[in-house]
Amino acid sequence: MTQINRLAGGQINQSSRVNFEFDGKSFQGHSGDTLASALLANNVRLMGRSFKYHRPRGVLTAGSEEPNALVELRSGAYQEPNTRATTAELFDGLVAKSQNRFPSLKFDAMAINDRFSNFLTAGFYYKTFMWPAAFWEKVYEPIIRKAAGLGSLSRQEDPDVYDKGFLHCDLLIIGSGPAGLAAALSAGRAGARVILAEEDYVWGGRLNAENISMDDQSGVEWAAAVMAELATLPNVRCMSRTTIMGAFDHGIYGAVERVADHLNHSENGKPRQILWRIYTKKSLLCAGAIERPIAFENNDRPGIMLAGAMRSYANRWAVTPAHTVAIFTNNDDGHRTAVDLMAKGVKVSAIIDTRPDAPKIADCDLLSGAQVIDTSGRLGLRSIKVRLSDGSLRKIECGALGVSGGWNPNLHITCHQRGRPVWDNQIAAFVPGPDGPAGLYVAGAAQGEFSTSAALQTGHAQAARALLDMDITAPQIQLPQTECQEVNLTPFWYVNEGKGRAWLDQQNDVTVKDVKLAHQENFRSVEHLKRYTTLGMATDQGKTSNMGGLAIMAELAGKSIPEVGTTIFRPPYTPVSIGALGGRARGKEFHPTRKTPSHKWSVEQGAVFVETGNWLRAQWFPKDGETTWRETVDREVRAVRGSVGICDVTTLGKIDIQGTDAAQFINKIYANAFAKLPVGKVRYGLMLREDGIAMDDGTTARFAEDQFVMTTTTANAVNVYRHLEFARQCLWPDMDVQLISTTEAWAQYAITGPNSRKVLQKIVDPEFDISNDGFGFMACREITICGGLRARLFRISFSGELAYELAVPTRYGDALIRRLIDVGQEFDVVPYGTEALGVMRIEKGHAAGNELNGTTTALNLGMGRMVSKKKDSIGSTLSEREGLNTKDALTLIGVKPIDISEKITAGGHLMTKGDPVDAAHGQGYVTSAAYSPVLNTSIGLALVKNGANRMGETMVLVSPITGTEISVTLVSPHFVDPEGGRLRA
């Protein structure tokens, strides 16, 4: 098909050929085209089907406010639904499909809905799908979703990548029309740091759409000259294809830069889009205005568009939607479209102006005081029916109709922080109110100043004001002489003639009648109107439709439009892809990964890893021939308890606490006594939250009178550090305490098992006595190993075995594990992972995260007596609350199955034998469970009411999740070596 609607001129490269495909058909356009302009050039007016009634629709606008011409752009995994054809830049190989139609755009079977429009009015869903309630989710909703809607998802992972970034400026200028360019010139020359953001891919905004002169240049030439100057200013950053999508707190704006949407594919590794966070001192909105339509019967046929858009297509893209057009307007601006199109050789059959005193501006038939009352043409406009001022009817043949109901300042950004616009009678439109985001100024058409001349002047003036607020003086600049025509509008919202449907919101199929129905059914608040009729919802958020709905509601309610008010404007201004919001944080990069010092070695050993927070920890180390994880873990546990094993425990938090008050500080943090811990000793500590609930536990070592190293659980490392900082800075600022994390600075290994000392003795330098007498249980000291490497040694045990923890500077962590395994060969040393670690701590009855679960007290954990009464510590007072100290308080206890072939289930609930199995009779629950290869039975730790006094009782363990019910015995939680002889050996 040739481009039969292509005109001469325009800002496209008419000598270029760009091939593209729409609904499987091949077309050609030019570089500089949008998909919409190229389709119009090829005489394709039908571009989509409507949301509810599947009515044929064409392009309404020439910008991002487009409600109708939404397409699925690209194919396969790159497919993106609801892309506006009006903003999609044409590139060679572009593939687009129309959406929401079956089987084809021209013949859409779902258009049957249109025949039932009397039933499908506003509130239809709410009234119809009332019962049976159960049908909603399974029957009604799927059917409705299938029938109604916009584009479809590919259901494949988005292969594009997206970036985020951060920018800073003195002045952010939003929009590069005449106001924005005048402002940028002023601020740029003043030396301010300026960001000029333009959503379009060309600079100049409306200057590209108008045929105007600025001094002796065209508007386009002037814009190019300004941009050329701005490009030379290092303090000005010009960002095209960048939409400011929201105004957020403290002068921060969100911006989406479409880096590669105009390319066939983004380059490898480069983002398709960048979500910028722009930190501004001041900002200036120069976003122009959006034209509004007039509603009349069948005003939605392809070929009926906004008059300003029709002018844009002609002037910028050298395209007319048809060779014979008409104009329907209530203001002078509509006439400009006729003038410009006629200048391009397009026949304008008539201007229908609702004003009886309409001026004669264009040299064509002017029908003053007339209204378009109906249209015809199934898949595209063929003719319009006009009621003339004398009451007679006239049918006018035309392939397109440009409609202008006036212009609405594009003020969305000013309302993103719940600011309210105010009404301006002069232009019959809302203008920005006084309560916009702090530091935001408005200029040009966005402020209600519609002439080019006023845009230039206000752009400069508002930039100067903003700069002055930053103590920057803007230089005087020479603004060009240009048009200063008034719009001269007489408000006219809809044609009140005819029984058919007059469309207000073409994206959501909302008609004048729907608004009347909402009023009739008392959904009169503007927010109710929106929800009841769906007016102003979905991708365009009613940019071209809201005002019409408000005007009609105002008329029906006998109120003024400002009394009816607007709905809340919220970010984003235009749709933002989820990919841009996610940025690079997806898949493996969703969060940072933390690796232990033994990671590389563990990978070499074939370790299976588990994520604990961001850490990757070795869970177990399978050996050849082992077929299940249990087999591996059982072996590791037996090896440790039988000889010796090594486990990387670097992930435990380590906090260096120093200062003359360090001991007193720790004494206040931990519930148990710490002030008198001798130098060279370690003690187990339990810290409580302010409310008396256990917060975290760990060991703290005293290396000097004024220096401690506190360890925390892996999961709580950050929380505990934060807690300590809060206590230091806010609770006891007079204490001399200094904190810093050293978690990552030291690689720390547990060397565990009866032969652990023998292994250590092979690497600890001989001057350090680590015999039982020289380095007893709970000792710590700084030593050297392997001939001089500084290290820290702690004699602590999580497993109940003779055990040590050895720390060296992290860079030597890899070498150390290799050395430990090497020297331990004669003792059959094994590496063991977190699973074996967990089994052994359950065997020993040590509480861990499952028990310190945010609900348990020291008493619950069997450590009630540790909460010292001789001192004050965080949480100690509130831990004495009566409700936490009842006789039947939960106590940590061990459980074993009576039949050792049965399994203890973590999370299972314990019931008194013979009692009903229900929540009311629950006696407690199993917190941790494991198979003990030492005891050859499943074991568990449980919190049971009055558990300490129920030792030996047989209870029933039920787990509704696994559907099991077994008999268990309550036993001591210390399954292995309850006397603690091994760890002191």
Partner 1 sequence: MHDLIPLSPLEAAAPRVEKYDGIRISECPDWAYASLAARQGQEKSCNQFAMDLLGFKLPDIGQITHSNTLAAFWIGPHQWMIEAPYSSHENLAAQIKRAVADTGSVTEQTDGWVRFDLHGARCHDVLERLCNVDIRIMQQGQATRTRLEHLGCFLICRKTGSEFSILGPRSSAETLFHALTTAAKAIL
CB of 167 to partner 1, least distance (A): 6
CB of 175 to partner 1, least distance (A): 23
* Min CB(274)–partner 1 separation in Å: 8
Nearest approach in angstroms of CB 814 to partner 1 is 5
What six digits make up the tokens of 198? 């333009």
Token reading at 609: 């890893």
Of 939, 923, 931, the closest CA to residue 972 belongs to 939
Give min distance, CB of 271 to partner 1, in A.
Answer: 6
Count CB atoms within 10 A of the CB of residue 810.
Answer: 18
Q: For residue 661, what are the CA distances in angstroms to 295, 658, 677? A: 78, 8, 14
Give the separation between CA 303 and CA 315, rounded to whole angstroms.
17
By beta-carbon proximity to partner 1, the closer residue of 101 and 654 is 654
Smallest separation (angstroms) from partner 1 to the CB of 592: 4
List the Cα angle 864/869/873 in 5-degree steps.
90
Check: CB of residue 312 under 8 Å from CB of residue 219: no
Cβ atoms of residues 407 and 309 within 8 Å: no
Q: Measured between alpha carbons, how far apart are the two ends of the chain, in Å?
A: 92
Check: CB of residue 72 under 8 Å from CB of residue 97.
yes
CB of 721 to partner 1, least distance (A): 11
User: Nearer to partner 1 by C-beta: 311 or 617?
Assistant: 617
Whichever of 790 and 921 has its CB closer to partner 1, that residue is 790
Residue with smaller CB distance to partner 1, 571 or 613: 613
CB of 742 vs partner 1, minimal distance in Å = 6
Q: How far apart are CA 617 and CA 626, in angstroms?
A: 20
Closer to partner 1 by Cβ: residue 703 or 777: 703
The answer to whether residues 261 and 291 touch, using CB atoms and an 8 Å cutoff, is: no
Task: Identify whether the C-beta of residue 845 lies closer than 8 Å to the C-beta of residue 894.
Answer: yes
Query: What are the CA-CA distances from residue 42 to residues 35, 47, 57, 503, 581 (Å)?
Result: 11, 12, 16, 26, 36
Q: How far is the CB of 53 from partner 1 (least distance, A)?
A: 44
Least distance from C-beta 591 to partner 1, angstroms?
6
Q: What are the CA-CA distances from residue 189 to residues 193, 600, 975 (Å)?
A: 10, 56, 80
Rounded distance between C-alpha atoms, residue 223 and residue 240, angstroms? 13
Between 117 and 784, name the residue whose CB sits nearer to partner 1.
Answer: 784
Nearer to partner 1 by Cβ, of 131 and 166: the residue is: 166
Q: Which two tokens stand for residue 621?
A: 């180390």
Rounded distance between C-alpha atoms, residue 506 and residue 495, angstroms: 16
CA distance 646 to 748: 10
CB 408, CB 65: distance < 8 Å: no
DSSP letter at 298?
T
- How far, in Å, CA of 497 to CA of 273, rounded? 47
Specify the residue, 626 or 736, whose C-beta has the smaller distance to partner 1.
Answer: 736
Residue 316 tokens read as: 């910028």
**Selection from 12, 5, 36 nearest residue 22 by Cα:** 36
Q: Which is nearer to partner 1, 31 or 742 (CB)?
A: 742
Nearer to partner 1, 368 or 742 (CB): 742
CB of 214 or CB of 727, closer to partner 1: 727
Nearer to partner 1, 653 or 692 (CB): 653
Nearer to partner 1 among residue 604 and residue 690 (C-beta): 604
Q: Could you give the CA distance from residue 74 to residue 69 in angstroms, rounded to a whole number?
A: 15
CB 739, min distance to partner 1, A: 8
The nearer residue to partner 1, 382 or 586, going by C-beta atoms, is 586
Helix (H) or strand (E) holding 709: strand 707-712
Hey, how many other C-beta atoms are within 10 angstroms of the C-beta on 866?
17
Rg (CA), the chain: 38
DSSP 463: H
- 265/763 Cα distance (integer angstroms): 58
Taking the complex as a whole, the smallest distance from the CB of residue 675 to partner 1 amounts, in Å, to 18
In whole angstroms, what is the distance from residue 589 CA to residue 600 CA?
A: 19
| Closest listed residue to residue 151, CA positions, set 194, 215, 97, 205 | 97
CB of 658 to partner 1, least distance (A): 4
Judged by CB, which is closer to partner 1: 426, or 729?
729
> Closest separation between CB of residue 286 and partner 1, Å?
24
Are the beta carbons of 682 and 851 closer than 8 angstroms?
Answer: no
Shortest spacing between CB 793 and partner 1, in angstroms? 15
Q: Which residue has the tokens 């600049």?
A: 477
Nearer to partner 1, 177 or 271 (CB): 271
Contact residues: partner 1, CB under 8 A: 161, 163-168, 269-271, 274, 277, 279, 584-585, 589, 591-597, 599-600, 614-615, 650, 656, 658-660, 706-707, 734-736, 738, 740-747, 784-790, 808-816, 819
Distance in Å, CB of 769 to partner 1, minimum: 19
d(CA 301, CA 380): 6
